[in-house]
């Protein structure tokens, strides 16, 4: 286990979620390691005859996908450990939707 995984497990232990977070921490540590490896590779392939023509490399596409998974895993970990709370203020759309649902229930007699 690397230093980063140990630190994340310590955070989970402090929140009382160590057992639930153990596998997620392994995934996060793996993704961090893989992202570091991918950063060393070129992300663009430049045409030597026309430098304005550029194409993303497979490393670029893989980095993008793994970064999304990494961000989602971190959000889940933060929610699990209580560091990320839902916005206490209700969004205008959610407030409108809840009001509409309440009206429909009252009108239908439920």
Tens digit of pLDDT for each residue in 15-54? 888 888 888 999 999 999 999 999 999 999 999 999 999 9
Pick from 5-14, 34-43, 68-77: least confident: 5-14
Whole-Å CA distances, 32 to 40, 41, 68, 73, 77: 13, 15, 12, 11, 14
Q: Find where tokens 């596409």 sit.
A: 61
Span between the terminal Cα atoms of the chain, in Å? 55
Q: Find where tokens 């709370």 sit.
A: 85
Whole-Å CA distances, 7 to 11, 13, 16, 43: 6, 10, 14, 30
pLDDT at 90: 67
Q: What is the C-alpha separation between 58 and 64, in angstroms, rounded? A: 10
Query: Where exactly are the structural domains of the chain?
Result: 3-108
Helix (H, G, I), strand (E, B) or coil at 72: helix
DSSP 90: P
């Amino acid at each position: 286990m690397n230093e980063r995984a140990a630190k994340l497990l310590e955070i989970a232990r402090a929140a009382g979620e160590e057992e639930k977070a153990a596998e997620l921490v392994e995934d996060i540590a793996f993704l961090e390691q893989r992202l570091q490896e991918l950063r060393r590779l070129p992300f663009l392939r430049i045409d030597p005859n026309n430098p304005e023509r550029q194409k993303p490399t497979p490393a670029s596409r893989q980095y993008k996908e793994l970064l999304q998974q990494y961000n989602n895993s971190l959000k889940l970990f933060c929610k699990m450990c209580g560091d990320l709370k839902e916005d206490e203020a209700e969004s205008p759309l959610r407030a409108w939707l809840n009001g509409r649902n309440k009206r429909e229930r009252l009108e239908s007699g439920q």
